[in-house]
Amino acid sequence: MTSRTPKTRRLRIAVDVGGTFTDVTLWDPSVPVLFAAKSNTTPKDRAIGVLDGIVLALEIAGAGPDEVREVIHGSTTGTNALIERTGAKTGLLTTAGFRDVLEIGRIMRPEAGLYDFTVDLPPPLVPRYLRLEARERLDAEGVVLHPLDESDVIAAATTFAAQGVEAVAVCFLFSFANPCHEERAAEILAERLPGVPISISSRICPEIREYERSSTTVMNAYLSPVMSAYLDSLQHRVESLLGNVRLSVIQANGGSTSITAARNKAVTTVNSGPAGGVVAAAFYGRLHDRNKLVSVDMGGTSFDIGLVEDGTSKTTTEGTFQDLPVRIPIIDLHIIGAGGGSIAWRDPGGALNVGPRSAGAEPGPACYGRGGTSPTVTDANLVLGRLSPGYFNAGRMSLDLDAASRAMCSLAESLGLSVEETALGIIRVVNANMVKGIAAVTILRGIDVRNFSLLSFGGAGGVHAVDLAQSLSMREALIPPLPGTFSAVGLLVTEGRHDYVTALGGIRTGNLDLEQLEAHYVRMEREALDELTGQGFAASAISLIRTADLKVSGQTYELSLPFSGSGKVDARAVDDLIEAFSRLYRERYAFFFEGEPIEIVNLRVAALGKNAPVSFEHPSAGKADPVSARKGQRPVYFEKRGFVDTVIFERTLLKPGNVIKGPAIVEEATSSVLIPPDTEASVLDDLGLAVLLDKSGEAK
């Protein structure tokens, strides 16, 4: 390893706050090496766990606080506020007659409640008594039909003040075409509600669809005070520890943004940590020519599933957070309650269930010794010998095998099984839950997963990776380097990103004003350049991507496509766009209405600021036999075999070209990988592990 350069602010640190652990990676470009660390998540004050993780990562890297240039943060604060309904007390001001849009929605029952009438849509974030109306009206083109009645806004401000409202959302009909009424209402509210953040839909979500736009704007208002308080506190503490560093926040679209932008558009920070995992998966897939991946991140609380096709993560503008619709660009993710801390339980019918309730960070699984008594997935893996009691989180934590066994006992007795059989049952159930979750984003969408690799990471992901890939008959299971903190690696490799949209409402492609379209794009690109250069990105590191949303006239939903061409909107670029739309439509729906008029609904610009590249170490190659990495053996329980003596390897001592034959376990500081019997793992050039499977799900 080469010596470091003199102290300069060159280090970049990424922090991903999970439900159980806070994952940290540190990139030192002067070595160059990635360092990984885990600290306990501190639910009562998550910033404590963040700072603990930063200090630990610096200690592992042998670096000082004055060497850090940037901290990139993936936050669960907004996500948890939605889950726990602990956001701000929010008021909504909307067009007269549209008070109940949030409740009416699309007049559709949730998918899970199609046949189960006990399942219902979540209640709106704003109760009806705080949803107030103002007389005003624009037409679909933005022309004023009825001017804003300012007395209604003043009356609403008085009511909001009396009710102790902490944030206000303003969403008027057709404001995406003309924001004048919303902007004036915001001015009046700000004068009468000093210090209360005001979110207006023409800035948060300037698009068609009143319900989705209202929901997105309300969610932004609901989260703004929570995120602002958290980010202000975090920024102060990070600067106290590290001095003058840049603090960036990951968004749901997989890109980073500034603290100021995250405060103003708090809704974009929801699910930011899991988004980093999909970004990391796409990055790793490109390194190894794997362009079709299902990424799965199994942490302590959740199991996050993403899809990578053509080497890129997929984004959508039609997503949901906690079953509430949002209309912003987000990475397409599916998250289920299946993590290491997921609690096993017996239902009234006698069946074994796992999750979605989790032991979380406090008290955590029983084996953590923090007061937990419920059996969890981590306890089951420990009982089965898949985890080492003395080498968990690089030995900084000891796992209590007796406590895990005691937690299993009452459940085992109720099921009439042994402790080991119960533990194996827990693993089989949670695996089945994860397979079902993967199928929801692949098989149920017509995607043949047999042509995909499963990239599994997270602290618990490596223990389940091969079993999941086999169950789905996938081509291989991949476990990347630093799997326990891999999502945080994604935060390091992500780009600065800002998204802009101009709603056209639905203009037919035969009636386009090409100069006006070009003017819209140029305006958005100017805003994008100002934003990214203000974050410190050089102009040469910024790229601007134009896209457009198109639909067949008369249909409801649109498809998003790149708007390419010679650099500006011209007739050739429009023809190429229409042809690309027809191809994508056929691929998606198997047919296309030839000759039907096509409409452009929205124009979009994604502005990307490229960071300096990050890389993994590439040790010198070794022979096939990994004997030099062998560190011992212990009995591990396998289905139909019972306990089998299993060789344990230290991952950092492996060499590219090694072949590990199962049964085996590969341990490292922040994770473990199970290589089941009759399978074998090849060690890649960066110490990634690849288990190649044939089409029937059996190892080759």
Residue 288 has pLDDT above 90, yes or no: yes
The DSSP code sequence of 318-341 is: SEEETTEEE-S-EE-EEEES-STT
Task: Quote the DSSP letter at residue 595.
Answer: T
Average pLDDT over residues 11-26: 90
The residue written with tokens 């979750």 in the block is: 437
Considering the domain architecture, whether residues 70 and 131 belong to the same structural domain is answered as no
Considering the domain architecture, whether residues 74 and 90 belong to the same structural domain is answered as no
Do 54 and 243 contact (CB within 8 A), yes or no? no
Sequence-ordered list of residues with C-beta below 8 angstroms from that of 672, at least 6 positions apart, any chain: 386, 387, 388, 462, 463, 665, 666
Q: What is the pLDDT of residue 695?
A: 52
Question: Comparing 120 with 642, which gets the higher pLDDT?
Answer: 642
The helix (H) or strand (E) run that includes residue 189 is: helix 180-192
Question: Is residue 363 reached through a cis peptide bond, with omega within 30 degrees of 0 on the bond before it?
Answer: yes
Question: Comparing 334 with 168, which gets the higher pLDDT?
Answer: 168
Of the three residues 555, 575, 609, the one that is the final residue of a domain is 609
Strands of 338-401, DSSP E: 342-346, 352-358
Give the residue ranges of DSSP H helices in 369-513: 377-383, 401-415, 419-441, 461-471, 486-493
The helix (H) or strand (E) run that includes residue 311 is: none
The residue written with tokens 């930011």 in the block is: 272
**Overall domain count for the chain:** 3
Label residue 594 by pLDDT band (50, 70, 90).
Answer: confident
Mean pLDDT of all residues belonging to the chain? 91
The range of the structural domain enclosing residue 15 comes to: 11-81+228-269
Considering the domain architecture, whether residues 90 and 214 belong to the same structural domain is answered as yes
Q: CA 464, CA 378: separation in Å to the nearest integer?
A: 11
Tell me if 202 is assigned to some domain: yes
Considering the domain architecture, whether residues 25 and 145 belong to the same structural domain is answered as no
CATH number at residue 49: 3.30.420.40
Q: CA 505, CA 678: separation in Å to the nearest integer?
A: 58
Give 367-424 pLDDT, tens digit per residue.
999 899 999 999 999 999 999 998 877 667 789 999 999 999 999 999 999 999 999 9
Considering the domain architecture, whether residues 145 and 247 belong to the same structural domain is answered as no
Considering the domain architecture, whether residues 117 and 241 belong to the same structural domain is answered as no
Instruction: Classify the phi-psi angles of 322: left when phi > 0, otherwise alpha if psi is within -120 to 50, otherwise beta.
Output: left
CATH number at residue 118: 3.40.50
Amino acid at 696: S
Considering the domain architecture, whether residues 96 and 209 belong to the same structural domain is answered as yes
Residue 3 has pLDDT above 50, yes or no: no
Residue 639: how many CB atoms within 10 A of its CB?
14
> What tokens were used for 164?
């102790």
Residue 120 has pLDDT above 90, yes or no: no
pTM: 0.88
Q: What is the pLDDT of residue 2?
A: 43
Q: What is the pLDDT of residue 694?
A: 65
Do 34 and 91 contact (CB within 8 A), yes or no? no
CA-wise closest residue to 82 among 260, 189, 216: 216
Do 506 and 601 contact (CB within 8 A), yes or no? yes
